[in-house]
A and B are shown apart, each in its own frame.
Chain A
């Protein structure tokens, strides 16, 4: 059982949960993920590691409560425990000195991009972060991201904070005026796809971190497979980071849709039993 240290709502339906797990905290590297189960009836939920503290022996996750399992998860707080937690899983980010790196985070992607930005910054890179959100209310970890970035650009779809634009606009402008060594993009699949298309003409190395549907996270189920450069890869053991320009995004998005009906059925039942919160 994994004790929960804290859980707070960062923005509507977005929660930051800190748990105690000394082994995982010591072992975790930027870019890796973990799997949690809120209770013995729950799903195995893959989440990219948002932060870890070796001294305190804690691991931080940022969770968007959208389905049954994530709603169950964010209901837990100090005094409660997670039924299961496995990790760290997947490969760590390759931290090199690229010169200038652009980090593009969309929505809840701001969380997993943070430890990578921090590691890249510590490795001597000039880190430019573009943080996109639908509106001001959904923004979180702005200061945290700013603290590891030389430049921090915020965009909102409705212009309620920062620049009214999609993340791809400042991305294109930066690529036009700067020599960029690498672009990272983490967020909704559609955003990562458009980031890849924006970068493609500039020929800059672009890395996306995928959040595929999976069960075990150890290579066994193959549910997280994606086509990358014409080959089948497993997000859990070959990823979660891949060359964004080589990912077949249409397959990646189609495979996320297989369980839509079941997810709705599960959530309807959950709301009927527990109310909307």
Chain B
């Protein structure tokens, strides 16, 4: 096995190419992007590790079916612009996905190489080609089908909505994208911090949609400013896609949660990211700069909040999570980065009370240790409190990242829209809701999930929407 050519796996075994990163001590105090990206040589070396399996499982693992081996082959040859075009055949936002997808559970998780060695760094290659294309200005304008005069309203300019807008404008429809906030991008703008996803990248993706002809109407809260029914009846839209996100933060329901300096991760991150609170007072919106910060939760949002807190000047930042490390829902890379930067992990620990000072601001958190019992409905082992294990520590900022609920603003102001018990929109696999002409996808259907799953839902819905409109609006459910 010593003299194998690259194609039979020896390159594969050279090991995954590391991506250069900012030093943890330095980066924990700035908002610049943490990973610096591959150089062309690194990308070519990494892409050449692909075994080109007959049945590429990586592609099956991708919610939008990126032709992974094909694009990697182009990267290995050094044809980066063509590689980027190849990715864009099925993924409208590669620079975003290369950075925020949980690759270890998707493409890379299925990579055959990973069984014995390390999987190909598909996400890093995807990011590289998208960045290369953007930075060298080699973005070719995709071919647009002839205009068919039909109008599509897309509600919510987050990952699912941007995907639908991109697909439908290319298919020849007139697309209007509505968003409640003053900037489009959804969670990509308000939720994910600059150090993980630079906003200039999101803005560039949105600008290219506008160049294609997508009309963006910000400051439009559908359900309040105008309703879905009015979009169809009065504004003449032929079809509507609803991708408004989950959008309502969940709190823990413990005493003291309404004290000052206790906030949801949504609030904390929106202040810092969308409102640019990390640059306060240059920008007017402040974000609380805690010295001893506790973040409750173990997902990507919790990691984003904890790492933001360090960058906002905290001396200590603790992740408080009631299950064990194995159950942390965050991307492996985020947990790794958080640890490197000095975030402490209090695992199997559950907050039971928040204590306030005489001004009504939080001053301490009381917690209880947990142990894992039998699996619960989520399939994860249920955390059970250990009696007598209560503990207490000082904190001046508590950020709750415990997931979200369905936002009722649109759903409660739309006629004949079937909702689940928890208030999410009921939709078929292709995204059709109970209301003819209205599709839904992303977190408002599934509950809080990932950027790429929302994009996958958008892709499925736009295909179905196109078929339905071309068939002359034949049939529904």
Contact = CB atoms under 8 A, between A and B. Distances in A.
Interface in A74-120: 83-89
B267 A87 contact: no
Contacts of B224: 27, 87-89
Given A37-B182, A89-B221, A219-B247, A257 B361 contact: yes
A268 B342 CA distance: 34
A238 B430 CA distance: 33
A43 B72 CA distance: 45
Nearest to A223: B267
* From A89, A262, A263, residue with most partner B Cβ within 10 Å: A262
Given A87-B225, A218-B180, A251 B270 contact: no
B263 A222 contact: yes
Contacts of A68: 281, 284
Given A220-B247, A262-B286, A266-B280, A86 B361 contact: no
A269 B361 CA distance: 25
Contacts of A226: 258
Interface residues of B, number: 44
Contacts, number: 134
Given A216-B270, A254-B356, A266-B280, A222 B249 contact: yes
Contact of B260 (A219, A222, A254): A254
Interface in B220-266: 220-221, 224-226, 247-249, 251, 257-261, 263-264, 266
A23 B284 contact: no
A84 B248 contact: no
A72 B285 CA distance: 13
Contact of A23 (B225, B248, B258): B225
Nearest to B246: A220
B189 to A, nearest CB: 12
A220 B266 contact: yes
B282 interface: yes
B428 interface: no
A215 interface: yes
Contacts of A259: 286, 288
A246 interface: no
A254 B256 CA distance: 12
A219 B246 CA distance: 10
A237 B407 CA distance: 9
B118 to A, nearest CB: 39
Contacts of B270: 215-216, 220-221
* From B224, B283, B288, B361, residue with most partner A Cβ within 10 Å: B224
Interface of A: 23-24, 27, 37, 41-44, 68-69, 72, 83-89, 215-216, 218-223, 225-227, 232, 234, 237, 248, 250-251, 253-255, 257-259, 262-263, 265-266, 269
Given A83-B182, A222-B248, A251-B360, 15 more contacts: A27-B224, A27-B226, A43-B284, A86-B219, A86-B220, A89-B224, A218-B221, A219-B248, A220-B270, A222-B264, A237-B408, A254-B260, A254-B361, A262-B281, A266-B281
10 contacts: A41-B282, A215-B285, A218-B247, A219-B409, A220-B270, A221-B270, A222-B251, A255-B260, A258-B261, A259-B286
